[in-house]
Amino acid sequence: MHIIHIASELAPVAKIGGLADVVYGLCQATLKLGHTAEIILPKYDCMNYSQLTNLKIEQKELWIVAGSTRYSNAIWSANFGKLKIFFMEPNHERLYDRGVIYGCSDDIDRFVYFSCVAMQYLLQSGKQIDILHLHDWHTSLVAFLCKKNNYKLGKCVLTIHNLAHQGICRISALSKLSKDLLEGLGFSDSMNLLETGILYADRITIVSSNYAKEIQTPEGGFGLDPVLRDSQKKLVGILNGIDQDYWNPSKDPCLKRNYNTQELENVLKAKQTNKCFLQQYLSLAQENIPLVASISRLVPQKGPDLIEYGIIRTLELGGQFVLLGSTSISNSEIKEQFVAIQKRYRGDNRVAILLTNDEALAHLIFAAADLLLIPSLFEPCGLTQMIAMHYGTIPIARMTGGLVDTVFDIDTSDKPLKERNGFTFAFPDQQGVNWALERAVTCYKNHKKWQKILRSGLSQDFSWEKSVKQYLLVYEELLSFKS
Ligand code: ADP
């Protein structure tokens, strides 16, 4: 099968969050099964090129027509292991040279343009494509363009990673270039790119079964629940995996001590070494007390107030807290909130607040922490709970979206005891956090119970090998319908 992904992120080349990990993991898993997977990305100026080889200009000038003007683009290609990546770079304007992936006032223009250029590139490339796999609102427009123009570029699969972001705007507020690109396609003035994708894609995958249910309700549908209910037959929930070569404690170069997760003794010893190293690195007291961490984008979805409360409460309960949180220009109030927290705790050797995106440090924290707090208000799938468990760290998670499908409370879950792998709470409020956190910190001293939870988390299969089979079923089923 020949699968082409068109996406805004790919780990670790251009990564903001889980979307990047998922696109990477899915590509690798399909390649391993002998399929051809390629990906098209914008050529951002802030990419991590370190693991790419053979970066070169594939085509100096790819022209697209908008209104009465032609725009030229350079097409770059590179190899990332077995994965071939194509980068689209407009020659006329610095649409992707902004030092950021998202967060510009003209993001919708940037991704409308990207969708059109990617489409044009595929049309003239002559590639025989089976599946065109699109991700979130950024590339949803491609599904519409294919159907509207009857382009034969394979079956269109759209994955919804996060329904909260839809690419909504008024066409009259877009740039002249976008207006010209969208001219005559039958849009009214208001446009919702994700909705367009939902209506025109052949199949829609959602990143967990529980989130697939939640988004069809008024509470979880962000206004699109009626459209999603109408498209119910096209929807399928497939839990994300984690790439276990990339997230591999036995080889991870970011750890002080690597470990084989098959033996608990090994995990416990390595945890001690990695924890001491992290404590030293972050100037935390070298004590054997519960180390709670949070690794998250600091946006409303992730429950920033509850993260703050989690810090306060952890200290009251006698633990340490490490926050690795990335801030963004579009959430400046949250950034200010955490800068103030950072100041409050300056010099306190029980807390480290790091307001940055640091991939290597994230790996070390996953290995070094005892507990990972995830108090999300909603969470389509969530990867951090899976990575944490795979690294021998116990999640404390709010029961929403994919967290419901992956974290099972040691005390209250109706799952068999050997599958219970964490601490959970139902309501995203301080009482909820407190209830789970108190139990978790207390449990730290109960070695027998603690190790039971650890073992259960470590034995869970969150590999892509499992999830990719479900994607392949979706692809095969679509290809079996001739149209
Ligand atoms: P989302 O996609 O909503 O951000 P996920 O849990 O699905 O949340 O995925 C988050 C991914 O981003 C994980 O790989 C996590 O390790 C990573 N991540 C989040 N915040 C940071 C940060 N500040 N620094 C490094 N990595 C981060």
Q: What is the mean pLDDT of residues 120-135?
A: 97
Give per-residue pLDDT as tens, 75-94: 999 999 999 999 999 999 99
Q: Say how many Å lie between the CA of residue 276 and the centre of ligand 1.
A: 23
Q: Say how many Å lie between the CA of residue 131 and the centre of ligand 1.
A: 27
pLDDT tier at 483, thresholds 50, 70, 90: low
pLDDT at 481: 80
Does ligand 1 have an atom closer than 6 angstroms to the CB of 299? no
Q: Say how many Å lie between the CA of residue 12 and the centre of ligand 1.
A: 12
Residue of minimum CA distance from atom 9 in ligand 1: 18
Helix axes 136-149, 107-125, angle to 10 degrees: 50
Instruction: Say what the pTM is.
Output: 0.95
Which atom in ligand 1 lies closest to the alpha carbon of residue 366?
16
pLDDT at 482: 63
Best residue among 246, 342, 384 to mutate for probing ligand 1, ranked by most atoms within 8 Å of CB? 384
Does ligand 1 have an atom closer than 6 angstroms to the CB of 382? yes
Short-list 401, 397, 425, 377, CA closest to 214: 401
Mean pLDDT of the chain: 97
CB atoms within 10 A of CB 405: 18
Residue of minimum CA distance from atom 26 in ligand 1: 359
The span from the CA of 91 to the CA of 94, in Å, is: 8
Does ligand 1 have an atom closer than 6 angstroms to the CB of 383? yes
pLDDT at 160: 98
| Helical residues (DSSP H) of 318-369, grouped into ranges | 332-344, 359-368
pLDDT tier at 329, thresholds 50, 70, 90: confident
Q: Is the dihedral of CA 112, 103, 190, 165 positive or negative?
A: positive
Q: Say how many Å lie between the CA of residue 173 and the centre of ligand 1.
A: 32
Residue of minimum CA distance from atom 17 in ligand 1: 17
The secondary structure element, H or E, covering residue 275 is helix 264-281
Six-digit token string for 390: 């795979």
pLDDT at 11: 94
CB atoms within 10 A of CB 293: 26
Does ligand 1 have an atom closer than 6 angstroms to the CB of 328? no
Give per-residue pLDDT as tens, 31-76: 999 999 999 999 999 999 999 999 999 999 999 999 999 999 999 9
pLDDT tier at 127, thresholds 50, 70, 90: very high
Give per-residue pLDDT as tens, 330-382: 899 999 999 999 999 999 999 999 999 999 999 999 999 999 999 999 999 99
Does ligand 1 have an atom closer than 6 angstroms to the CB of 324? yes
Best residue among 383, 398, 403, 464 to mutate for probing ligand 1, ranked by most atoms within 8 Å of CB? 383
pLDDT at 320: 98
Contact 330, 314 (CB under 8 A): no
Q: What share of the chain is helix, strand, coil (3-state, %, to 5)?
A: 40, 20, 35
Contact 138, 83 (CB under 8 A): no
Best residue among 10, 296, 331 to mutate for probing ligand 1, ranked by most atoms within 8 Å of CB? 296
Which atom in ligand 1 lies closest to the alpha carbon of residue 324?
23
Give per-residue pLDDT as tens, 174-221: 999 999 999 999 899 999 999 999 999 999 999 999 999 999 999 999
Does ligand 1 have an atom closer than 6 angstroms to the CB of 300? no
DSSP per residue over 155-194, as a string? EEEEEES-TT---EEEGGGS-HHHHHHHTTS---SEEEHH
Q: Say how many Å lie between the CA of residue 337 and the centre of ligand 1.
A: 20
The span from the CA of 274 to the CA of 125, in Å, is: 49
Helix axes 136-149, 193-200, angle to 10 degrees: 50
**How many residues would you count in the chain?**
483
Does ligand 1 have an atom closer than 6 angstroms to the CB of 359? yes
Residue of minimum CA distance from atom 2 in ligand 1: 18
Q: Say how many Å lie between the CA of residue 443 and the centre of ligand 1.
A: 27
Burial 434-472 (b: 16+ CB within 10 A, else e): bbbbebbbebbeeeeebebbbebbbebebbbeebbeebb
Paired with 190 in beta bridges are: 170
The span from the CA of 377 to the CA of 256, in Å, is: 33
Q: Say how many Å lie between the CA of residue 149 and the centre of ligand 1.
A: 37
Does ligand 1 have an atom closer than 6 angstroms to the CB of 296? yes
Give per-residue pLDDT as tens, 98-112: 999 999 999 999 999
Q: What percent of the chain has pLDDT over 90?
A: 96
Q: Say how many Å lie between the CA of residue 297 and the centre of ligand 1.
A: 6
Q: What is the mean pLDDT of residues 440-466?
A: 96
SS3 at position 81: coil
The span from the CA of 424 to the CA of 413, in Å, is: 9
Best residue among 161, 326, 372 to mutate for probing ligand 1, ranked by most atoms within 8 Å of CB? 326
Q: Say how many Å lie between the CA of residue 290 and the centre of ligand 1.
A: 22
Q: Checking phi first, is residue 200 left (phi over 0); if not, alpha (psi -120 to 50) or beta?
A: alpha
Give per-residue pLDDT as tens, 375-424: 999 999 999 999 999 999 999 999 999 999 999 999 999 999 999 999 99
Does ligand 1 have an atom closer than 6 angstroms to the CB of 303? no
Residue of minimum CA distance from atom 8 in ligand 1: 18
Q: Which residue has the tokens 């394979």?
A: 154
